[in-house]
Structure 1
Amino acid sequence: MHAFRPPWLLMPMIAVLCSRVHSFSHAFPVHGFRQLVFCSHCQLAFAKTSGGEITDSYHGISCNMGTISVRRMLPNATILEFDIAYKLYRPSSLSSRQAAPIVALHGGPSVPSNYLLPLVRIVPYRSILFYDQLGCGTSDEPKADDGIYSVGNAVGDLEVLLKHLGVRRFHLYGQSFGGILAYEFLKRQASKEVDDGIAGEGCRSVILSSTPTNVMQIEDEARSLVEKLDSPDLFRETHQRRISPMPQALTDAYAYAGTAWRGTGAIADYKATPPSANSRKLRSALVLRGEHDFVTEVCVADWKRSLWNTPYVRERVLDGCSHHGLLENGPLYGEIVDSFFTEYD
């Protein structure tokens, strides 16, 4: 038996094993950007609507689409502005007091939100906000120069989006890398002396789905799993998705994945750290993973064991599922997600 190196797009969280980069027949073009004059009063990220909102639907479910603009400051004090695209499903329910909206954060980094869209069908009634993080999907994809990309910058973009759309009371859902982003967002909010009004009542609860605490650790676990198999296809079918053919939602996400800031190579040094001692308490969390997930038990153990500053962390293993439980057993997944969030509405 020999080791192999599967393509990164088959395993968005273990790109370190890549041996080549796939080219796409439907690759999304890199958008342009606008240069701005530096102003000492400007924030590094700000929001404005670009081109207004467009109403669309997904399986007959209403949706508003739009873009916001975020900024990055280069070392020479030049400010660059980029667009981030979002979709808000069931927009009329955004301010519901009975069922708070879900803010969905995709993985990768740079595997866009297409593969999370089935949440709209399996979680009824709630507004659900999706967006493509900078560098992938229908958002701009600037080159990875001068600190454009970082986990911290991605957290800032999320803050801008929530403020722009007036999302004041919500649940966070993060899949794979999206869970890392969710945790870092919660930690930043908890570190502030007072609620600064970015999210008003803020996050009610959070789900971390197939989210590791330590990128180096998941790479080691993945290598161990890879060494037991004979082909990239077998790894994918066992630990990444256990359904065939590949769901269209996942196919679409891979077709528009970014190339500038991708996979574990982009966050190789990431290891989650606890909130500071004087931080406010984090919201209640549910840690999900598949029975056959390449994000193994050891990769998620520290969320509950040492990272959360409250005891309110639950764990759930999805029987028969791997990394994409949402796509493998949608009805069960939807029931778990909605039931957990309902407890904290």
Structure 2
Amino acid sequence: MTSYRAEGTGPPLVLLHGLQVGQELFNQLRLHLESAFTVITYDQRDRGNTRFEPSAYTTDDLADDLALLLEALGLSRAHVLGASFGGMVAQAFALRHADLLDGLVLGATSQAPFRPERVAAPVAELLRALENGNEEHARALLARMAPAATSTSADSGAPRSPDRNEGLIRRFAAARSFDTRGHLGDITAETLVVHGRHDAVVPVVDALSMAGEVPRAEVLVLAGCGHTWENERPARAAAAITCFLADAR
């Protein structure tokens, strides 16, 4: 069961959220897009209210989930915007389901997995544990990093899902297996690469390298913001995205 939300008027635009958040990431950005698009957000596997049988998966599987969602909604094509980890899923979707894609927007993302040298020490240790196949150590690290994931709900006192930490482990593992370097030349959609000038998670050079490989890519670097550009500059970003996608079909 996939939890989704669709609001607005116009051609469909699907927004793909990041690694540790859900569709609420786009609460601000969608307000500036709904006058031009039917904006669709949804919770990916192991996020929000979406429910799948627990199992390992890859970004390719998440891209296929999106294809199935479009089919269920009766949509033959859509624009797709992915932010951070969602941008990785969007790349996979563009490569696997080009026939379903109109315009593509890749925000604060990269062609390669998150690298330990670029993230905080606890996250780097978690990534190294997953890379080495030490899932038991990864679970212990995540339990220390995010104890609230296994605590009780402040509203009801009921336990949160016992699978929350396991779900994050699966999402981190999917990130570790991702790599589209050398493949983005096969993307046929018109593509806008959006990046915050001060992004400390994914360097701007990664965005430029990615755009250099996509045949029909343009780049928008947003001043005064970092990795969460969709919440730091939502109106500015939405205006640019709207103009770009108007010509992308």
Which range, TM-score by smaller chain?
0.7 to 0.9
TM alignment of 1:1-345, pairs within 5 A = 83-90=1-8, 93=9, 99-108=10-19, 110-123=20-33, 124-140=35-51, 142-143=53-54, 145=55, 147=56, 149-190=57-98, 195=99, 202-217=100-115, 219-222=116-119, 258-262=164-168, 264-275=172-183, 281-294=187-200, 295-306=202-213, 308=214, 310=215, 312-345=216-249
Task: State the distance in 1 between where 2:184 and 2:40 align.
Answer: 29
After TM superposition, the score normalised by the length of structure 1 is 0.54
SS in 2 for 1:186: helix
- Count of matched residue pairs: 207
Summarize the Cα distance change of 1:272–1:258 in structure 2 as closer, same or farther, 3 Å threshold: farther
Amino acid of the residue matched to residue 64 of structure 2?
G
Task: State the distance in 1 between where 2:172 and 2:110 align.
Answer: 11
Task: State the distance in 2 between where 1:259 and 1:173 align.
Answer: 26
SS in 2 for 1:206: strand
Contact 2:103 2:189 in 1 (8 A): yes
Larger radius of gyration: 1
Summarize the Cα distance change of 1:258–1:212 in structure 2 as closer, same or farther, 3 Å threshold: farther
Task: State the distance in 2 between where 1:216 and 1:132 align.
Answer: 21
Task: State the distance in 1 between where 2:180 and 2:228 align.
Answer: 22
CA shift, 1:265, in A, is: 4.7
After TM superposition, the score normalised by the length of structure 2 is 0.74
Q: Which ranges of structure 2 fall in alignment gaps of 5 or more residues?
A: 124-159
CA shift, 1:114, in A, is: 0.5
Task: State the distance in 2 between where 1:85 and 1:323 align.
Answer: 25
- How large is the RMSD of aligned CA atoms in angstroms? 2.7
1:41 alignment counterpart? none
CA shift, 1:170, in A, is: 1.8
Percent identity between the two aligned chains: 24
CA shift, 1:84, in A, is: 1.2
1:239 alignment counterpart? none
Summarize the Cα distance change of 1:288–1:282 in structure 2 as closer, same or farther, 3 Å threshold: same
SS in 2 for 1:84: coil
Contact 1:141 1:260 in 2 (8 A): no
Q: Which ranges of structure 1 fall in alignment gaps of 5 or more residues?
A: 1-82, 94-98, 196-201, 227-254
Amino acid of the residue matched to residue 136 of structure 1?
R
CA shift, 1:129, in A, is: 0.7
Name whichever structure is richer in helix by fraction. Answer: 2
SS in 1 for 2:78: strand
Amino acid of the residue matched to residue 85 of structure 1?
S
CA shift, 1:167, in A, is: 1.4
